[in-house]
Chain A
Amino acid sequence: MSDRLDYYLIILLAGVLPNYIWRFFGVIFAARLDETSNILRWVNAVATSLIAALVVRMVMLPPGALADTLLPVRVLALITGIAVYWAGKRNLGLSVAAAVTALISLNWLFA
């Protein structure tokens, strides 16, 4: 997995295939699946847990420049984002901006 050309193959095999296949099934099954059905609720729950775990993984094993920040700083920044989301008008863009601003300023304070 070190050759640059290999990444094209990985993107296609591990990225595109398991991804587009669901869109493909969507076209095939359109009008036969009930959006509110139990199985689709399960699908949503699994994706939600997986993405939550992905976020925790990125906070614990930070990629690139993020690795230069302290763990408590990253956690506090996420909590700031959530606080702004609930306290404000549930504005997604604003709360993401707040989380990133909190990360940069806390990092500056504690560095």
Chain B
Amino acid sequence: MSRRPKPVAPPGGHDWGGLYEGFTTAFGVPGLVMSGSFIGFGALAASSPFGLDHAILATITIWALPAQVIMVNMLKHGTPLLALALAVSLTSIRLMPMVVSLLPRARMQETPRWAEFLAAHFIAVTVWILAFLNFERIARPRRLPFIIGLGFTLMAGMIVMTAIGYALVHTLPTPAAAGLVFLTPSFFFLSLFAGARRRSDFAAIAAGVILGPIALQLAPGFDLMIAGLVGGTAAWAYGRRHDGAPDDE
């Protein structure tokens, strides 16, 4: 964790016209992929003790698919609340660097605090990628409104997708419903490969695949946390030896 002098935000407030740019950016391929994954989440929730109201509440308040899937998945196996919270926490730590990397590029001198906390709530993988891809072409005063407009539009859409997935599982024949539920694990697994750059990234995937079932035998409920901490730390240590200094990206 290196410290830098705090950059000074440009003077002035926000141009809320950026809300509209966020709105239009939601309709694209990343939004489509996200729709598929939230239909999958709805399908998954319908296969759990969750009602549709719980599934939608989770989409609105958590707004991070891995955390939502962990909730639905672990609920079924009667996990202690603490184990659930710890597993959610470990997948959600990475929301912090996402927020950290976007906010300083969107902040103005007169940015209200509530707007920052609201924008931060919308920041998850898809919004982060879209902001990352679009920030260059968006004037700085419009960036924070852009995140909020984009996040709000995607969230409205994903509430609908959650409901569609939930309803479809009960109406589709079993083989097709199985395909819907399978959307989530395949999307997660392939996203890991899509995001892997360094050897340590692949090592982290392999470590999770190997340690997961072992930890499930040894400490059911805490298995995800153990596989994540042990596997991730091992892969990170391996990366320090083989991938070079952190800054040579």
Contact = CB atoms under 8 A, between A and B. Distances in A.
Pick the most buried of B49, B228, B231: most chain A CB atoms within 10 A of its CB. B228
A74 B182 CA distance: 8
Contact of B69 (A54, A77, A107): A54
A5 to B, nearest CB: 10
Interface majority SS (helix, strand, loop, mixed), chain B: helix
B22 to A, nearest CB: 18
Nearest to A56: B212
B47 A63 contact: yes
Given A49-B211, A57-B212, A78-B189, A41 B236 contact: yes
A63 B96 contact: no
A69 B86 CA distance: 30
Contacts of A66: 47, 178, 181-182
Nearest to A52: B208
Interface in A59-85: 59-66, 68-69, 74, 77-78, 81-82, 85
Interface residues of B, number: 117
Of residues B103, B233, B236, which shows the largest number of chain A Cβ atoms within 10 Å of its Cβ?
B236
B182 A18 contact: no
Interface string A80-111: 01100100001011011001110110011001
6 contacts: A10-B71, A26-B99, A27-B117, A48-B196, A50-B66, A85-B194
Interface of B: 1-4, 6-7, 29, 32-33, 36, 43-44, 46-51, 54, 57-58, 61-62, 64, 66-73, 75-78, 81, 84-101, 103-104, 107, 116-117, 120-121, 123, 169, 174-196, 200-201, 204-209, 211-213, 215-216, 223-225, 227-233, 235-236, 239-240, 246-247, 249
Interface of A: 1-2, 4, 7-8, 10-27, 29-66, 68-69, 74, 77-78, 81-82, 85, 90, 92-93, 95-96, 99-101, 103-104, 107-108, 111
